[in-house]
Amino acid sequence: MCKIGRFSWIFVIYILHTGRWQNFFVDSATKITNIYCTSLDKNYSDFQRCRLLVPRRNEISMDIHVRAYQLPVNNISINLSLWHKTNSFQPFLYNQTYDYCKFMRNPTRMPFVKIFFDAIKKTSNINHTCPYNHDLIVKGFVMNDGMFRLLPLPGGTYMFKLRVATLNAWRAEVGVQFLLDLKSK
């Protein structure tokens, strides 16, 4: 065995034996800090509610209610992007447009959208395939601290921006700003 390999094994045994391996894992805390909702076509849809609530200490929930005026909605495209704040919000790591109806038929094909969708599906009524014949509601959504464990994100302020299009025209935009605080276990 070469000296580099022997040193690596000795280092691993030392880390495991002393219990210092716990310092190599990072936990995160997330907190929603701001939200904005914009209807780009008031004749098609409008936001009845778009706000943050504080149900209990250190917990912030999000409520969104979108009233749709032209039903049913069959052709939906979404653009989901992740932004990171340095001096201002800059595009970061991800910006993709998807056919939402196709995604709902097979969600495992689009992993980033699935992470986002799995987080909100329990608190919303958008958890079925197209067509949509009702208003869209997200009520009491709270960001889970482990929600981003699959994404390699440094700590800081981020924003999810969701743009929704139907019939090839952008109809609405929602931005959710949140703080990702990394802490060692």
Q: Which CATH fold topology does 27-184 show?
A: Ganglioside M2 Activator Protein; Chain: A, (2.70.220)
Percent of the chain with pLDDT over 70: 81
Q: Break the chain into its structural domains and give their ranges.
A: 27-184
- pTM as predicted: 0.79
- Give residue 165's Cα distance to chain centre: 18
Mean pLDDT lowest among 105-109, 139-143, 144-148: 144-148
Side-by-side strand order, sheet with 76-85: 26-39, 169-184, 156-166, 76-85, 89-99
Calpha distance 177→174 (Å, rounded): 10
Calpha distance 43→48 (Å, rounded): 14
Residue 118 three-state SS: helix
- Give residue 106's Cα distance to chain centre: 19
pLDDT for 3-21, tens place per residue? Answer: 555 555 565 555 555 544 4
Res 110: pLDDT? 84
- Residue keyed to tokens 């894992």: 25
pLDDT for 74-132, tens place per residue? Answer: 899 999 998 999 888 888 878 989 999 999 999 888 887 888 888 888 999 988 889 99
Residue 150 has pLDDT above 90, yes or no: no
Cβ–Cβ under 8 Å, residues 49 and 39: no
> DSSP E strands: which ranges in 6-146?
26-39, 45-56, 59-68, 76-85, 89-99, 136-142
Res 31: pLDDT? 86
Mean pLDDT confidence for 60-81: 93
Calpha distance 140→179 (Å, rounded): 18
For residue 23, the tally of other CB atoms under 10 A from its CB is 10
